[in-house]
Structure 1
Amino acid sequence: MLAGNFVYANPVAVKSTAPASSQYFEAEDIFALEYANDVQISPDGSNIVYVRHSNDIMTDSTRTSLWLLNVKTGQQLPLFADTFNYGQPRWSADSQQLAFISDMSGSSQIHLHYLTENKTAQLSSLRQSPSNLTWAPNSQHLAFTMNVDAREADVKQRVKKVKKPVGAKWSEPAIVLDRARYQADGQGFLKPQFRQVFVLPASGGSPRQLTQGEFHYGSDLRFTPDSKALVFSANLDPDWEFQPRDSNLYRLDLASSELLALTSMAGDESAPVFSPDGKQLAFLWQSNALVPYSNSKLKVLTLNNNNISDIAADFDRSIDNPNWLTNASFVVQYDDRGQRKLATLTTKGKLTDLTASVGGVSQPQPYLSGQYSVSANGTIAYTYGTSQRPSDVAVLQKGKSTVLTALNEDLLAHKKLAQVHEIIYKSSFDGEEIQGWYMTPPNFDPAKKYPLLLEIHGGPHLAYGAQWSAEMQRYAKEGYVVFYDNHRGSSSYGERFALLLQNKYSSPEDYADHDSGVNAMLALGFIDENNLFIAGGSAGGIAAAYAIGLTNRYKAAAVVKPIINWLSKVLTGDSYLYQTFYQFPGVPWENVEHYWQRSPLSLVGNVKTPTILITGEQDRRTPISESEQFYQALQILRVDTALVRIPGSPHGISNKPSRMIEKVEYMLAWFEKYRTPSN
């Protein structure tokens, strides 16, 4: 049972940047969408600051601004809303100062805003972008992390340097790599840099570097209650590059720089948070077992005796973002059956749900998303999402949720949108229950027949839900019923369900989940069995490519940023140190047949389905060479195909508004080429 109902308290509608003349959701409307994220309530519970995301049609970018909400009245005011970007707002303990990061000075720097005085100061002049901004409880210091240059590759230091004549124009110098982690999607080849921890006086001054060495420190900084030390997560083992699921918690004394290990468990310890009385330290732990999925568990370290206890050890969901409510209870976030929930959790393991309406931050597809923060008096602010709107800001008090914003009412209130419906069915493979959803087009008439688009989520250990999706709204507006499911392997259903795909992605087993869902949709009576289409991105792209090697029931397919040949991918993509050992039984040269069986390329000789491939040219997660292999194979087989290359794009094609539009419109154009009249 969920505690409380929803009340809308005088939402503030904001004028869109683009006209909305159509009564339907059009491609151009993507530029006008806005959403809330990084919702931070003040410690005294009186105000909320949040990051508001809006798109700029002239620069094809997403701008971020800071807005302030009064919890009692719902009044909304812009703190910083101009041509610059603002993020990571963090309250001081007295709720009077707000630290944040902005590029208003030309580069990302730390700033401090004094609310009562309405004054703002730039605190830093850093050479690199800061992150992980954290206040000391005494409001005297801020901690943050920043990348710091390290040694160049050994051979680069040894090579003879030839002096270039003055005015000479030589070619770019060679890029030399010698580390195991040498590339990352969205960043390219990694510079020789490591994340270090710094502290900065809140009154201004010079930042002090607290850590050093070739390790990445502290993406989750936390001051001790006395403000004299920092606690954070790090892996300081010499072989850290080869241990993607291992890290310990450390305590760093600010005065002496003494570094003390607080935990030494096998696995990943992270997200430390002190109890109100300072006697206990809660943290998250995840196993380092060689499996593709494991739940995140909550543990508590009693500081006076170093005893570690498990909280809700038998709870078969992944706990995230724990915050102490009292010395004996928490607020936690977890995903359950396609919903992101907030709940209270006692130290004895009693869980009480508060709301299941967290979401709306994932814009292109309906992935589970969203976050929350809690004040000292227990008031909770969070991102509120539905299938009809991107995220707004809501507040939860005494069991009642109140939505404080209405960021997209001006754009969407007058439009006819696709409606989302749940469907539950059994997989033909083994009778496993599968949860899915389908979106019906505007003006839907169940007496008519509609084409069906099966859209498969990525991960594969992620989850969709009844959440906003700009891309799927566009498909539905063009007349498609859009069906999506949380197939075996999806998160939010427990470890057993997630591990049904262990060493099996992709396979006839997960395709049976999708195929059974298509059959369940046909049984509803309004789907045209002669107009079935299939699409998916990332892991969903793998599944879509694998599916058309198993069946010819689809009129056309859209395979987006896929892996086609696992033998080539794991030694070219950026995730090889994790994927090779956690998603496969071992290295490819010792498991050739297994890798080949999981590869869509092994089935390409069966493919008859016209297929469009869409991939970013700078994708390092699923390199475009994977798409090229499938494209060339289909050309040899004389299967109608097209390859859409997105210049400069990494794995997240839809991260820029125009690219999201381009992806959707190419898919729609491809489907329309093969779609036949249904009525």
Structure 2
Amino acid sequence: MTHSPHSLNALRKIGRRLLAATLIWIPTLGFSAEESLRPFNAMDVFDLEWVSDPQVSPDGNRVVYVRRSNDIMSDRTRSHLWRIDTDGNNHRPLLSNNDNAYSPRWSPDGNRLAFISSSTGSSQIHVRWMDNGDVAVVTHLQSSPLNLSWSPDGRWLAFTLSVKAPTEPMVKPRSKPKGATWADKPITVSTTRYQYDGRGIVAPSYRHVFVVPAEGGSARQLTTGNFNHSGALSWSSDSQQIFFSAYRQDDWELVSGEADIYAVDIASKTLTQITREPGAERNPQVSPNGRMLTFTHQVRRPLAFTPDKIAVSKLDGSDLQIISGDLDGDASGLIWSKDSQSIFYLYDERGERKIGKASLKGELRKVVSGLGGTTIGRPYLSGGFHVASNTIAFTRGRSDRPADLAIMKKGKTRVITSLNEDVLPFRQLGKVQELVYTSSHDAQEIQGWYITPPNFDPNKKYPLILEIHGGPHLAYGPNFSAELQMMAAQGYVVFYDNHRGSLSYGEDFALLLQYKYSSKEDFADHMSGIDALIKKGFIDDRNLFIAGGSAGGIAAAYAIGLTDRFNAAVAAKPVINWVSKTLTADSMVGQIYHQFPGPPWEHLDHYWKRSPLSLIGNVTTPTMLLTGENDRRTPMSETEQFYQALRLKGVDSVMIRMPGASHGIASRPSRLVSKVDHILAWFERYKKADDAAEKGAKDD
């Protein structure tokens, strides 16, 4: 008898419930519940579940959300649709099959639900009738649709789709003899943006706006040209126009940070440009009364961080106003209130994601905090929300749990799911605690957190791992992290901080790393945090380790060129040489414009100073390099340069190449596990023994 992955997961959950019952009984035999628990380990990653993309029904009484989990048999993260009443009742799966489904979107009357599913073998748009559960496949597309949006009259579904552009071969192919085996044909590249991480080298294609009848039929392309039309789609109240964002200029491949709002008429395909502001206007949303637009606006400037502001205008783009001027940071996820008088939005503040509300007069207030838990690997700020009929649904994160579904009604918040209570109450997790300190560089305040191991004893001394986030213009927070919990479970105190350049502390703080990525300044932020922890008395200062991925990998590689305090280092998917990186990676155009004073041939000294390779002469720290072989954001050639330099210097080093992986190494759960396993194995190799144990061994 065989079982589907879904049924195997169900059997495992039954087993965990039996274990839970046993653990409840054990204390009666004289054991404590805590003693019966075991630490979180790598295989627990396959038992985690989390909420994403909640969608409230138009009447505000039901929520459909994407329930995500890691399938141990297919080594994939799976997505299923579940529904639940906002009072927490009637929690059940929406579909009976095991195929991935995502992007649920309610019809305006709440009687149907559109979503994307691979149940037919490829990603297609489906519609489910909510009264009887009937499901129709409404598209037969050659590539995956995105950005689903219902027309207000319920007759149409809009979406974006990538369409290949026609190309002419440079040479006429030669005829080969019948039965002959020749080499594959050459690949001709003639575009500037020819590669994308996760996709590799791609044939020219452009994302366009389409519509399809909501009851099924032929999809019709509304936009044309060699331009990308992307982001949120929003309909006019009469269901005759669709608003979207694009940069439709011939130089679009060489320009970063430009986009305008357009509208296309679904009958005539007539295109109207709505905004013409310098910079980028994106993600338009038409107000419920049909009279106004809101969208994000970002000024174009050659800086590494520029915040997205909330803009409001009339439908034709006139009377444009910025209403979030007092917000020191990004606003995203814009949703109109039912009365068209205010706008809900997401923002980050001091390592925490929140929902805010902006009035049309520019008055800002916090609505709810504590969003998170949708990135389970590392503790990045994450999470989303949706609003309908004065009901807010959002992903609620905690330091000891991935995202559950929370509801806010009439000012009261309630968490209505508990997806991991069959697993995590029966694991000993490391405790996440805040650490606020000042940097030795300039007394700048830095916020960080540290995770203590299970059964932590403050009178003992523990080895420490510094783990540095990517970006660098991103942020960590006190969120659940499978990777860092795995490290803590092996007896390490794990420290992470939001060093200068991190988001959620305002624009000025984010720009402290302008043209200084990496530098002695962010290095000082990290080392000052380590020293602050050492002063607490429970860190073994003979056993310090450093790790990080992407921008964190750069920082780790740079740090070991400035200090020999670390026993060992792991630089995951790092940049080692900024000259070669910017001219080989998929992020070439934007990175050169925003993060450097000019191209490398004009500022060679600056690029070299920022490169960890410039400090290779100082490096003595044993170093592991860990990168996906298909990485096009920080290409494998960067890792190879550093590895070969380390070998030439005689520094203990190893290169771990992840087959099939792009920049997002942890996109498959087994890779997440393998990544942490390799990091811990490397650190264990260079951990110094406890003084008492070492003395005992010598005496023996």
TM-score, normalised via structure 1 length: 0.96
Q: CA deviation at 1:304?
A: 6.8
Equivalent position to 2:66, from 36, 51, 55: 51
Would the alpha carbon gap of residues 408 and 81 (structure 1) be closer, same or farther in structure 2, given more than 3 Å must change?
farther
How far off is 1:72 after superposition?
Answer: 2.6
Amino acid across the alignment from 1:390: P
Given candidates 326, 330, 334, the residue that maps to 1:314 is: 326
Matching residue within 276, 282, 285 for 2:297? 285
Distance 1:82 1:676, change over 3 A: farther
Pair 1:537–1:319, CA change in 2 (3 A): same
Aligned to 2:102: 87
Q: Is the 8 A contact 2:256 2:593 kept in 1?
A: no
530 and 305 in structure 1: CA distance in 2 versus 1, 3 angstrom threshold: closer
Task: Report SS of the residue matched to 2:512.
Answer: helix
Match of 1:505 in 2: 517
Task: Give the counterpart letter for 1:145 in structure 2.
Answer: T
Deviation at 1:239, TM superposition (A): 0.5
Equivalent residue runs for 1:195-206 within 5 Å: 195-206=207-218
**CA gap 1:43/1:592 in 2 versus in 1, 3 angstroms:** same
Counterpart of 1:123 in structure 2 is 138
Secondary structure class of the residue paired with 2:229:
coil
Query: Deviation of residue 148 (structure 1)?
Result: 1.1
Work out whether residues 275 and 317 of structure 2, in 8 Å CA contact, stay in contact via their aligned partners in 1: no
Q: For 2:223 and 2:83, how far apart are their aligned partners in 1?
A: 35
| Equivalent residue, structure 2, for 1:107 | 122
Please tell me the residue identity of whatever aligns with 1:474: M
Determine if the alignment matches structure 1 residue 669 to structure 2 residue 684. no
Query: Matches of 1:225 and 1:165 in 2, distance apart?
Result: 62
- Residue 23 (str. 1) matches residue 35 (str. 2): no
- Equivalent of 1:39 in 29, 32, 54: 54
Structure 1 distance, partners of 2:610, 2:470, is 16
Select 2:593's aligned residue among 581, 591, 594. 581
Decide which of 250, 254, 262 is 2:262's aligned counterpart: 250
After superposition, the Cα gap between the structure-2 partners of 1:402 and 1:15, relative to the gap in structure 1 and judged at 3 Å, is farther
1:598-636 Cα deviation digits (max 9, x unpaired): 000000110111111100000000011111111111111
Residues 1:78 and 1:217: Cα distance change in structure 2 (over 3 Å): same
1:144 to 159, 166, 171: 159
How far apart, CA to CA, are the structure 2 residues paired with 1:81 and 1:580?
A: 48
Q: Shift of the alpha carbon at 1:57?
A: 1.1
Alpha-carbon shift at residue 401 of structure 1 (Å): 1.4
Distance 1:16 1:524, change over 3 A: farther
Counterpart residue number, 1:3: none
Question: What is the aligned counterpart of 1:602 among 602, 606, 614?
Answer: 614
How far apart are the structure 2 equivalents of 1:16 and 1:307?
A: 58
The residue that corresponds to 1:544 in the other structure is 556
The 1:517/1:254 distance shift into structure 2, 3 A limit, reads: same
CA contact (8 A) 1:485 1:514 kept: yes
User: 2: CA distance between counterparts of 1:540 and 1:158?
Assistant: 42
SS in 1 for 2:422: helix
Residues of 2 paired with 1:504 and 1:522: CA distance? Answer: 27
Amino acid at match of 2:190: D
Report the Cα distance in structure 2 between the residues aligned to 1:342 and 1:180, rounded to whole angstroms: 38
Change in 2 beyond 3 A, CA 1:309/1:16: farther
Contact 1:18–1:29 (CA under 8 A) maintained in structure 2: no
Offset, 1:517: 0.5
Change beyond 3 A, Cα 1:481–1:18: farther
1:63 Cα deviation after fit: 1.2
Is the Cα contact below 8 Å between 2:282 and 2:295 reproduced in 1?
Answer: yes
Query: What is residue 175 of structure 1 aligned with on the other side?
Result: 187
> What amino acid does structure 2 have at the position aligned with 1:311?
I
Report what 1:337 is aligned to: 350
How far apart in 1 are the matches of 2:179 and 2:98?
38
> Which has the larger displacement, 37-46 or 433-442?
37-46
The worse-fitting range, judged by mean Cα deviation, of 660-669 and 73-82 is 73-82
Residue of structure 2 aligned with 1:380, choices 380, 392, 398? 392
Q: Within 1, Cα distance between the matches of 2:321 and 2:197?
A: 37
Number of the residue aligned with 2:384: 371
Partner Cα separation in structure 2 for residue 181 and residue 18 of structure 1: 50
Deviations 1:135-164 (Å, cap 9, x if unpaired)?
001111000111112022x5xx23021123
18 and 458 in structure 1: CA distance in 2 versus 1, 3 angstrom threshold: farther
Decide which of 374, 390, 395 is 2:402's aligned counterpart: 390
| Range that drifts further, 401-410 or 463-472 | 401-410
Tell me if 1:346 matches 2:334. no
Q: Give the alignment of 1:428-443 within 5 angstroms.
A: 428-443=440-455
CA 1:572–1:677 in structure 2 vs 1: closer, same or farther (change >3 Å)?
Answer: same
Q: Which runs of 5+ in 2 are unaligned?
A: 1-8, 20-36, 693-700
**SS state at 1:390 partner:** strand
Instruction: State whether residues 25 and 415 of structure 1, in contact with CA within 8 Å, keep that contact through their aligned partners in structure 2.
Output: yes
Does structure 2 conserve the Cα–Cα contact (< 8 Å) formed by 1:417 and 1:442?
yes
Is the CA contact (8 Å cut-off) linking 1:97 and 1:115 kept in structure 2?
Answer: yes
What SS does the corresponding residue of 1:300 show, helix, strand or coil? strand
Q: Map 1:499-648 to 2 at 5 A.
A: 499-648=511-660
More helix, by proportion:
2
TM superposition shift of 1:16: 4.7
User: Can you list the C-alpha shifts for 1:23-56, whole angstroms capped at 9, x where unaligned?
Assistant: 2111111111111111111111111111111111
Q: Secondary structure at the match of 2:558?
A: helix
Given that 1:14 and 1:410 are in contact with CA atoms closer than 8 Å, whether structure 2 keeps it comes out as no
1:247-267 deviation per Cα after TM superposition (whole angstroms, max 9, x unaligned): 000011112211111100111
Q: Distance in 1 between matches of 2:13 and 2:197?
A: 31
Q: Which protein has greater RCO, CA pairs closer than 8 Å, 6+ apart? A: 1
Query: What amino acid does structure 2 have at the position aligned with 1:38?
Result: D
Does the CA contact (< 8 Å) of 1:16 and 1:410 recur in 2? no
Structure 2 distance, partners of 1:15, 1:397, is: 36
Aligned position for 1:415: 427
Distance in 2, matches of 1:586 and 1:293, equals 16
Structure 1 distance, partners of 2:156, 2:288, is: 20
Structure 1 distance, partners of 2:203, 2:94, is 35
Indicate conservation of the 8 Å contact 1:546/1:603, yes or no.
yes
* Preserved CA contact (<8 Å) 2:274 2:315: no
Give me the TM-score of the superposition, normalised by structure 2.
Answer: 0.93
Distance 2:351 2:558 in 1: 24
Task: Report matched runs for 1:153-192 at 5 Å.
Answer: 157-192=169-204
- Structure 1 residue 17: Cα displacement: 5.6
Q: Deviations over 1:360-401 (max 9, x none)?
A: 0011100000100000x2100111111101111111111211
| Uncovered stretches (5+) of structure 1, i.e. residues with no partner | 1-12
Structure 1 CA distance for aligned equivalents of residues 84 and 412 of structure 2: 18
Shift of 1:15: 7.1
Paired AA for residue 230 in structure 2: G
Aligned length: 663
SS in 2 for 1:406: coil
Per-residue CA deviations over 1:43-89 (Å, capped at 9, x if unaligned) read 11111111111111111111111101111343211012533111111
For residue 565 of structure 1, report the CA deviation from its aligned partner: 0.6
Question: What is the Cα deviation at residue 404 of structure 1?
Answer: 1.3
Return the offset for 1:674.
0.9
Task: Please tell me whether residue 212 in structure 1 is matched to residue 227 in structure 2.
Answer: no
Look up the SS of the partner of 1:578 in the other structure. Answer: helix
Match of 1:404 in 2: 416
Cα distance in structure 2, aligned partners of 1:260 and 1:505: 41
Aligned AA (2:113): L
Q: State the Cα distance separating 1:343 from its structure 2 match.
A: 1.8
Aligned-partner Cα distance in 2 for 1:469–1:659: 15
After superposition, the C-alpha distances for 1:199-239 in whole angstroms (9 at most, x for unaligned) are 10112211111111111113221111111100000000110
